[in-house]
A and B are shown apart, each in its own frame.
Chain A
Amino acid sequence: MNMNAQSRLQETLSKGEFAVTAECGPPRGANPEVVRKKGELLKGYVDAVNVTDNQTAIVRMSSIAACSHLLQMGLEPVMQMVTRDRNRIALQSDIMGAYSLGIKNILCLSGDHQSFGSQPDALNVFDIDSMNLIRTVQTMRDQGKDMSGFELNGPPRMFIGAAANPFADPFEYRVIRLAKKIDAGADFIQTQCIYNMDRFKEWMKMARDEGLTEKVHILGGVTPLKSAGMAKFMNNKVAGMDVPEPLIKRMAGVPKEKAVEEGINICLETIAELRDIEGVHGVHIMAIEWEEIVGQIVESAGLTPRP
């Protein structure tokens, strides 16, 4: 892990504290108030806020701009960046631009395929993949060079994140892929939403056996369920998501007006379990368009005040 990067998220993690990050989806429009409102809801409850980059391939305010709004409010953003929409020239340029604005964390992703979005006719780019992007940011930071080897006037000292999905197939390859991301330069990992705790623990054990938890900070992903319908939808319709049957039944087993509460209970139980797993250094709360619940979850989990 690089010692020169200066983000607060990195500080928290390197001190060995259990970190909390959350997610903020920018609006489908140019209104900065939406971002500020979400920022207000998260302030004081998280170490950093992930700002998504046209998630599910739906056009939104750019991640860089939304990150900048959060920065002005005193929040620390994690800029998500996908390789779907920009070639290597634009990616490197935006990384430098983002750092110049004070953005110090990046999450390197390939991105959801455009066929899921509102403009499936779009051309995708995928000039490089997420692994290449991680290595690119690392090279820019540690060697101060762009992909052509040109020496940069002011290297972007980003704290580098990557995603991991322990629930996708083929399972045995998932840890190899994690190792590759760490070798490429990932400092921290944020995982897909964890509902299948058995499988997550198995994946963590494999990661520990390979010595990977010594090299990287893993933040377990959680998303509070709102209803049994949502649980079923995520299991059946969202690629790479695994919501076990007993959990769906548990959500269906409570009266409708109690479903939200039950979803939060499950989320809190998951967070409590995550804190006990060796090698898990934090939690990443993805309350999709439900930012107001994050504070309650963090507080109930006994993780306040933050930072």
Chain B
Amino acid sequence: MIVAEQKPLSEIKEIIAPYKKILILGCGTCVKTCFAGGEDEVAVLASALRLACKKDGKKIEIEELTIERQCEDEFIRESAPAVSRSEGVLSLACGAGVQALARRFARTPVLPGVNTTFIGVLEKQGVFTEECSGCGNCRLDIFGGICPVTRCAKKLLNGPCGGSQNGKCEINPETDCAWQLIIDRLKALGQMDNLRKYIPPKNWSTSLSGGPRKLVREDHMI
């Protein structure tokens, strides 16, 4: 899923400062799963903002709504009446959701309420870890299902750097060394030969480095 984190209340207050009537718009997909921008978070944030504005002596009207997905126009349209009643929309969706709203509503400012952080997994309740960079050229087959492009701080493709100690990464003792994980896994799979292979420079043209990407599925076009 796409993992996001709600911005601090102080920053959100600054972002919405110019507006007296806002809509907090949640998204019921990824950000709901990571507790950043689903229906519950919309409600909690709305109450917190109302309280904070009251304390500051600022008058504000806050409307709440959550739609299924902010990255699909079909769902976005459901929010049109609420958007038209507001001066600005505080979106709790990922950056894609914010931009999809901005594309649909030409005259209403759309503001980000979360920081979109990464594509990750739920490691355990309350803990999310980054696992994929969306590089567009997946080679998890040779790395035992563990991505060094994402999980090694130096994106090393040919083995661990000199800073791998006791299975941990030198930049953070909380972070597993991706290469230790890869080596352990390849050992378990009996694929240690993969470690001796020279991995040539990565082709980054399929990543964001090649410019914004577009995927066209002609078989699905109507």
Instruction: Please give the residue numbers on chain A whose beta carbons come within 8 Å of chain B beta carbons, in ascending order.
Output: 84, 88, 110-111, 113, 115-116, 124, 126-132, 135-136, 147, 163-165, 167-170, 173, 176-177, 179-180, 183-184, 192, 239-240
Contact = CB atoms under 8 A, between A and B. Distances in A.
Contacts of B200: 132, 135
Contact of B165 (A84, A88, A168): A168
B162 A240 contact: yes
5 contacts: A110-B161, A129-B155, A131-B199, A169-B160, A170-B183
Interface string B117-160: 00000000000000000000000000000000000011111111
Nearest to A163: B162
Given A115-B171, A192-B162, 17 more contacts: A110-B156, A113-B154, A115-B153, A129-B154, A131-B198, A131-B199, A132-B157, A132-B200, A165-B162, A168-B161, A169-B160, A173-B159, A176-B159, A179-B196, A184-B198, A240-B161, A240-B163
Nearest to B173: A239
B204 interface: yes
Contacts of A165: 162
A129 B198 contact: no
A82 to B, nearest CB: 10
B153 to A, nearest CB: 5
B198 A168 contact: no
Given A169-B180, A173-B183, A239 B162 contact: yes
Contacts of B160: 168-170, 173, 177
Nearest to B177: A169
Interface in B174-222: 177, 179-180, 183, 195-196, 198-202, 204
A136 B163 CA distance: 24
A132 B196 contact: no
A98 B157 CA distance: 26
A169 B156 contact: no
B158 A131 contact: yes
B10 interface: no
A147 B195 contact: no
Given A135-B198, A169-B167, A176-B195, A129 B157 contact: yes
A180 B180 contact: no
| Prevailing SS type, chain B contact patch | loop
A130 B170 CA distance: 17
Nearest to B158: A131
A177 B197 CA distance: 10
Interface in B60-82: none
Given A88-B201, A169-B180, A239-B170, A129 B156 contact: yes
A173 B194 CA distance: 12
A164 B201 CA distance: 20
A128 B200 CA distance: 9
Given A168-B160, A176-B196, A110 B154 contact: yes
Contact of B163 (A127, A164, A173, A239): A239
Nearest to B172: A115
Nearest to B157: A129
B6 interface: no
A55 B162 CA distance: 14
Contacts of B199: 131
Contact of A170 (B155, B180, B202): B180
B196 A180 contact: yes
Given A113-B154, A173-B183, A180-B159, A127 B164 contact: no
Contacts of B183: 170, 173
B201 A170 contact: no
A163 B156 CA distance: 15
A240 B196 contact: no
Contacts of A177: 158-160
